[in-house]
Amino acid sequence: MKIKIEKRQELKPKLDESNLEFGKEFTDHMFLMNYTLGQGWHDARIVPYGPIEMSPAAMVLHYAQETFEGLKAYKRPDGKIQLFRPEENFKRLNRSNDRMCIPRFDEDFAIKALKTLVEIDQDWVPHAPGTSLYIRPFIFATSPFIGVRESRTYLFCIILSPVGSYYPGGLAPTKMYIEDVFARTVLGGTGEAKCGGNYAGGLAAQKKAASKGFEQILWLDGAERKYIEEVGTSNVFFKIDGKFYTPELSGTILPGITRKSIIELLKSWGETVIECKMTIDELVDYHRQGKVEEVFATGTAAVISPIGSLDYMGETLVFHDNQIGEYSQKVYDELFGIQTGQLPDPFGWTVLIDE
């Protein structure tokens, strides 16, 4: 399929790079592609960024049939622009689509479309330290019908947003607590899919956490409230007695690409990484024995978010003196270095946009 390109006549003024907020500003162009039952994906195009017209009966607005992804483009010291494991994001988007009854798309074509879009808007990729271009691919149901079934038409969009450093003041440990009323998901639900509905369902818990003064929620499994699953919208790692632990992908956990990369990175350093079921009681026990050395959350937006403490049953468990752990910093430096092209990439994770 060819990508039709319609460029904006007058480009928008560029932004002050030292002052970028997350997800507020968007570039000059966006990618769109339609799906029609019987015809497949068609009309791939890059057009000026702007509002999308759709029916008030569009199914996504009623029943939330939608999936999305998040990845970043970085400007390297030599001025070239690179993506981090984009094939993993599009693979996961198709797996999310399977769960949400959205038709699959061609992953190689999506990468080509993304590279073309980023190339057209390349002047929007910021180069100040810690900045990047956040990429949001998403797909949603557009059929004008309010009966409940899967849609017959969809729109695939990619929009781009220049973002600042997640940690302007350096990596800062966060406070978390355990949510005991709301559940994020249960086995058989949509927890493994990256879909907007999961986030809508999590807002009440997020609001509650913020009102109690916590930045993060430690989610336990929804059925037994026993097993550790994720932290906020990130995966979680524990360094206990010299070994790294992260909850296994049991069907309710979002398979993070940062998670996967950190497992590979730690193993390449000769560290032991164990993916297993872990209960909250085990964590508390290990903490009592003084064996919990570091806790950190992982995801594309922040890469690593060190966790300083956990409130549970009226007790505050403090990790690593509420300071950044040695490995949290080391993993962050290495991964961020590879992503931004400041360090060599022995894993072949990065892809230049003009490759």
Ligand X SMILES: *Cc1c(COP(=O)(O)O)cnc(C)c1O
Under rule CB under 6 A, residue 299 binds ligand X: yes
Burial annotation 15-53 (CB, 10 A radius, 16+ → b, else e): beeeebeeeeebbbbbbbbbbeeeeebeebbbeeeeeee
Under rule CB under 6 A, residue 247 binds ligand X: no
Contact 142, 58 (CB under 8 A): yes
C-beta of 84 vs 156, nearer to ligand X: 84
C-beta of 70 vs 189, nearer to ligand X: 70
DSSP code at position 232: T
Under rule CB under 6 A, residue 234 binds ligand X: yes
> Which member of 132, 216, 233, 339 binds ligand X (CB under 6 A)?
233
How many C-beta atoms lie closer than 10 Å to residue 212's C-beta? Answer: 10
Please choose, out of 11-19, 40-48, 255-263, 281-289, the segment that lies near ligand X by the rule CB under 6 A: 255-263
Binding-site string for ligand X from residue 300 to residue 319, where x marks contact by CB under 6 A and - marks none: x-------------------
C-beta of 46 vs 118, nearer to ligand X: 118
Binding-site string for ligand X from residue 175 to residue 214, where x marks contact by CB under 6 A and - marks none: -------------------x--------------------
> Which member of 94, 143, 190, 235 binds ligand X (CB under 6 A)?
235
Q: Which residues on neighbouring strands pair with residue 216, listed in sequence order? A: 176
Angstrom distance (rounded) from CA 298 to CA 258: 6
Under rule CB under 6 A, residue 137 binds ligand X: no
Under rule CB under 6 A, residue 280 binds ligand X: no
Alpha helices in 121-183 (DSSP H): none
Under rule CB under 6 A, residue 254 binds ligand X: yes
**Centroid of chain to Cα 146:** 30
Q: Give the helix/strand (H/E) hosting 88.
A: helix 86-99
> Which member of 72, 115, 239, 259 binds ligand X (CB under 6 A)?
259
* Contacts of 142 by beta carbon, 8 Å cutoff, 6+ apart: 54, 55, 58, 59, 60, 151, 153, 154, 155
Angstrom distance (rounded) from CA 145 to CA 143: 6
Contact 277, 248 (CB under 8 A): yes
Q: Count of residues binding ligand X (CB under 6 A)?
A: 14
Calculate the dihedral angle through the C-alpha atoms of 52, 55, 57, 61, rounding to the nearest 10 degrees. 10
Under rule CB under 6 A, residue 256 binds ligand X: yes
Rounded to a whole number of angstroms, the minimum distance from the CB of residue 8 to ligand X is 29
C-beta of 65 vs 143, nearer to ligand X: 65
C-beta of 164 vs 256, nearer to ligand X: 256
Rounded to a whole number of angstroms, the minimum distance from the CB of residue 28 to ligand X is 25
List residues binding ligand X (CB under 6 A): 70, 194, 230, 233-235, 254, 256-259, 298-300
